[in-house]
């Protein structure tokens, strides 16, 4: 999962644009269509046949691929290439029409990310370089530290040129997060003559880092990084008391590289009513990415392999995206290549990113904005996608909750063109609340995934109970929509609505083994 959110303005623009576009093409609902195949039959069969043992085997493969390739499966690296080959080989053998879609992207790898207070107190700081920040000179820079008043004095610190009153020329300027974009703070620091900028967090947790970005690759003028709130507040207090000197070194390798999406489609089914399911296959450079997003990739692969044995009414197109960790670039490239008519052929998009977090919550993307937070509802049909997941979990007696379309995963480009979207998520760097711990178990106050974007996101970072439950829900939803999308777009027999009611009323009739961990220890919840 991408480490930074899209801005509220960006997400709102995507959602609003989608709502406007879909209004012109919304289907008219007339007389009920003739009765067709029962979606619950295929959905139940898939949910039974998709097993955590098989998914775990795929995860072992991804772990070994990473281990054999420098500990990473990042886009364009040998580890990603081998991962994509593994997926493509499995799908080809299963009978899918498999396509490799190559594209170029701006690759970045952090080589140096260091900061220290030189005086009056010698100590090491923990910066995180912002995406699109320029580099410092090799060896770094050492300069006086200046500070802009923080949130205690100003609700929009660093958001106005006047906030930089006083002397900041030639300094590394310290400014608190909040009130405007990182780019605005950066631009005001540039105008004030600063040689670098450090943006410290406003989060409740004093140790939580800032993972941010500037607008694009052309917008960075001075080296810019984030700091935890605790470090920033301590530095600001020292600046208020007297001179402070800090050193900063930020070095990021930047070059254009080529990577690939893997796309596989069923041979049968309606080509004008395609059900899409996607999961990003790439990891961050820093680790093997077995939860993020080996979990979604492996679970989706197993759903696809089991679906290959079945007959479908609608074509199902599975995608394993690359360069998600560089800004959703694989899914963005794919959508950008679709004509409007090809977009209309896509009935809906399902997204599965991080479905086995160790300290998990059971999140469903909030298609109808019933939680009334964040970006608003998805395009028309997204609420109905959410309904299918809710009904499935309800039928299993599994509590769940909504999560916002923040723009941090590959549903973003689909929402941008008004394609109904939804999916599952179990949490990233955010922290589990006491209410969630009571609901799901696990540890209140701890991250859903303490190894998010780190080297420790390995095979031991998988909660196999969450993986099993979510994979079955994925299989159920794919089975329902592979048969009937009438609740989403009016195409089909209308049986999907009945399947949703059946799932909500009782457990589906196919016997299932209880959720278990098979042969591997995992972090308890």
| pLDDT tens figures, 440-476 | 999 999 999 999 999 999 999 999 999 999 999 999 9
List beta partners, residue 401. Answer: 363
Identify the architecture of domain 8-25+36-96+266-505 in CATH: 3-Layer(aba) Sandwich (3.40)
In the prediction, which pLDDT does 36 show? 64
Pairing relation of β-strands 224-227 and 346-352? unpaired
The Cα diameter of the chain in Å comes to 79
In the prediction, which pLDDT does 4 show? 57
Pairing relation of β-strands 314-321 and 245-265? antiparallel
Cα Rg of the chain, angstroms: 24
Token readout for 15 is 């959602």
299-326 confidence digits (pLDDT tens): 999 999 999 999 999 999 999 999 999 9
User: Of these residues, 238, 324, 386, 390, which one is catalytic?
Assistant: 324
- For the cut 90, the answer to whether the pLDDT of residue 363 exceeds it is yes
**Gap between the Cα atoms of 111 and 256, Å rounded:** 17
- Of the candidates 37, 475, 447, the one whose C-alpha atom is nearest the C-alpha of residue 205 is 447
The arithmetic mean of pLDDT across residues 181-196, rounded, is 98
- Reduced to 3 states, what is the DSSP secondary structure of residue 303? helix
The arithmetic mean of pLDDT across residues 44-70, rounded, is 99
- Of the candidates 378, 361, 284, the one whose C-alpha atom is nearest the C-alpha of residue 325 is 284
CATH topology of domain 110-254: Glucose Oxidase; domain 1 (3.50.30)
Q: What is the DSSP string of 61-95?
A: HHHHHHHTTTT--BTTSHHHHHHHHHHHHHHHHHT
Pairing relation of β-strands 421-425 and 346-352? parallel
- For the cut 60, the answer to whether the pLDDT of residue 29 exceeds it is no
Confirm if 203 and 175 have CB atoms less than 8 A apart.
no
Cis peptide upstream of residue 410 (ω within 30 degrees of 0): no
255-291 confidence digits (pLDDT tens): 999 999 999 999 999 999 999 999 999 999 999 999 9
Q: What is the CB neighbour count within 10 angstroms for residue 69?
A: 18
Told to judge if 324 belongs to the known catalytic residues of this protein, a careful annotator would answer yes
Q: How distant, in Å, are the alpha carbons of 356, 433, 435, 442, 444 from that of 438?
A: 18, 9, 5, 8, 8
- For the cut 70, the answer to whether the pLDDT of residue 154 exceeds it is yes
- Of the candidates 231, 312, 366, 284, the one whose C-alpha atom is nearest the C-alpha of residue 66 is 284
- Of the candidates 272, 279, 462, the one whose C-alpha atom is nearest the C-alpha of residue 358 is 462
In the prediction, which pLDDT does 251 show? 98
Q: What is the CB neighbour count within 10 angstroms for residue 333?
A: 20
| Most confident segment among 1-15, 116-130, 367-381 | 116-130
Pairing relation of β-strands 245-265 and 97-119? antiparallel
Domain ranges in the chain are 8-25+36-96+266-505, 110-254
């Amino acid at each position: 999962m991408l480490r930074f959110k899209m801005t509220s303005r960006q997400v709102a623009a995507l959602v609003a644009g989608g709502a406007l576009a879909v209004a012109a093409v919304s289907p008219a609902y007339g007389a009920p269509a003739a009765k067709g195949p029962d979606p619950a039959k295929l959905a139940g069969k898939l949910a039974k046949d998709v097993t955590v043992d098989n998914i775990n085997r795929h995860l072992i493969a991804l772990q070994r691929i990473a281990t054999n390739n420098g500990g990473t499966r990042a886009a364009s690296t040998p580890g990603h290439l081998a991962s994509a080959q593994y997926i493509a080989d499995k799908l080809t053998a299963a009978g899918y029409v498999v396509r490799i879609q190559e594209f170029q992207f701006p690759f970045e790898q952090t080589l140096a990310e260091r900061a220290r207070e030189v005086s009056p107190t010698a100590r090491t700081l923990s910066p995180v370089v912002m995406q699109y920040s320029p580099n410092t000179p090799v060896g770094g820079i050492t300069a006086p530290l200046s500070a802009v008043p923080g949130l205690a004095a100003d609700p929009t610190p660093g958001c106005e040129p006047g906030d930089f009153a006083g002397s900041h020329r030639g300094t590394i300027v310290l400014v608190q997060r909040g009130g405007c974009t990182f780019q605005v703070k950066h631009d005001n620091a540039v105008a004030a003559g600063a040689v670098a900028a450090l943006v410290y967090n406003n989060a409740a947790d004093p140790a939580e880092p800032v993972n941010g970005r500037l607008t694009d690759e052309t917008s960075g003028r001075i080296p810019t990084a984030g700091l935890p709130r605790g470090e920033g507040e301590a530095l600001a207090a020292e600046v208020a008391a007297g001179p402070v000197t800090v050193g900063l070194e930020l070095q990021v390798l930047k070059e254009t590289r080529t990577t690939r999406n893997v796309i596989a489609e069923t041979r049968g089914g309606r080509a004008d009513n395609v059900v899409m399911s996607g999961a990003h296959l790439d990891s961050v450079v820093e680790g093997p990415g077995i939860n993020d997003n080996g979990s979604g990739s492996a679970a989706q692969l197993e759903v696809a392999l089991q679906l290959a044995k079945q007959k479908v009414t609608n074509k199902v197109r599975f995608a394993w995206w690359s360069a998600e960790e560089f800004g959703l670039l694989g899914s963005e490239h794919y959508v950008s290549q679709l004509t409007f008519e090809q977009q209309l052929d896509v009935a809906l998009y399902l997204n599965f990113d991080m479905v086995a977090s160790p300290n998990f919550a059971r999140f469903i993307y909030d298609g109808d904005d019933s939680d009334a937070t964040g970006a608003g509802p998805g395009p028309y049909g997204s609420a109905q996608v959410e309904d299918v997941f809710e009904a499935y979990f309800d039928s299993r007696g599994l509590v769940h909750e909504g999560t916002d379309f923040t723009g941090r995963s590959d549903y973003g480009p689909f929402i941008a063109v008004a394609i109904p979207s939804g999916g599952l998520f179990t949490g990233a760097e955010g922290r589990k609340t006491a209410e969630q711990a009571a609901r799901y178990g696990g540890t209140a106050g701890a991250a859903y995934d303490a190894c998010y974007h780190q080297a420790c996101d390995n095979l031991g970072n998988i909660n196999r109970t969450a993986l099993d439950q979510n994979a079955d829900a994925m299989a159920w939803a794919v089975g329902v929509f592979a048969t009937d999308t009438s609740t989403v777009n009016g195409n089909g027999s209308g049986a999907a609505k009945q399947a949703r009611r059946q799932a909500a009323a009782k457990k589906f009739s196919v016997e299932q083994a209880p959720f278990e961990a098979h042969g591997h220890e995992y972090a308890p919840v």
